[in-house]
Amino acid sequence: MSTATTERVDGAAEAGGVERVGVVGAGTMGAGIGELCARAGHDVRLAVRSQDSAAAGLRRITTSLDRALAKGKIDEDARDSALARITFTTDLADLADRQLVVESVAEEETVKHEIFSTLDKVVEDPEAILATNTSSLSVARLARVTGRPGQVLGIHFFNPVPVLPLVELVGSVLTDGRAVRRAEAFVTDGLGKHVIHTPDRAGFVVNALLFPYLLSAIRMVDTGTATADVVDSGMELGCSHPLGPLKLADLIGLDTTVAIARAMYEETKEPLFAPPPLLLRMVECGLLGKKSGRGFYTYR
């Protein structure tokens, strides 16, 4: 066995025995997860709906890697090596040999149920971890559509994935303890992230704290109390926040903000989680934030 091979096997053992990673979805979060895993030396395959989605996902990853190169965070060899570790497929069956799969599609429970049901059938290794990057949905309900609920858990990354150091690890009442330990080893030793363990409850910890704040800021704009730039300037300059709440909502995506808020409201019935009328109207009109070119701000 060569030295290079030995190092790779040892690294996989430290990373929860994971070398081959699958990602379902190549939007902002899916592409970020794929890039992060590839940069860490893992073999990555992203499953997408179409060749157009694959091309868009590859552009996102390439742009991000080029940005890291320009900032001196990686060199050309690291960029090229990461890209060489990434492949795309339009067939979930091509994730059969993966040791860990992270689902990262829209916050629609029925869609996620279909994906997990299919992954359960096609992923061959019974010890493979099937993870969701959901921000708000029940991990236990996703686990129940599979025949291996003990292997299903939440691995919740934050945007931008390659930059932000935190990951919420969410085990449900059905998750096996060994799967949690393997996932933690993968995220910490394999990806270099900091893990916090959070309950399987809508919003987990971070979003349960963050979203009442975001929605309150939107209500201030909705009622005419203050404009978006005034609210953001107040929080950035008065509270040392790196990004104001309206800019952050635009970055998250206003449609995603609505989906997360609704999921948390449905579970808790807390009025603080109810999406404000202005937010609902903006989403209905296609004003989704940065990804659509217009939200509380206009982007070019």
- The residues annotated as belonging to the active site are 135, 156, 168, 207
Answer yes or no: are the C-beta atoms of 286 and 292 closer than 8 Å: yes
Alpha-carbon gap, residue 155 to 101, rounded angstroms = 10
SS3 (DSSP) at 84: helix
Give residues with Cβ within 8 angstroms of 136, minimum separation 6: 107, 202, 203, 204, 207, 259, 260, 263, 264
Instruction: Tell me 162's DSSP state.
Output: T
Answer yes or no: are the C-beta atoms of 142 and 105 closer than 8 Å: no
Structure token digits, residue 204? 């987990």
Kindly list the distances between the CA atom of residue 11 and the CA atoms of 40, 129, 280, in Å, as whole numbers in the listed order.
10, 18, 46
Q: Please give the radius of gyration of the chain, using alpha carbons only, rounded to the nearest integer.
A: 19
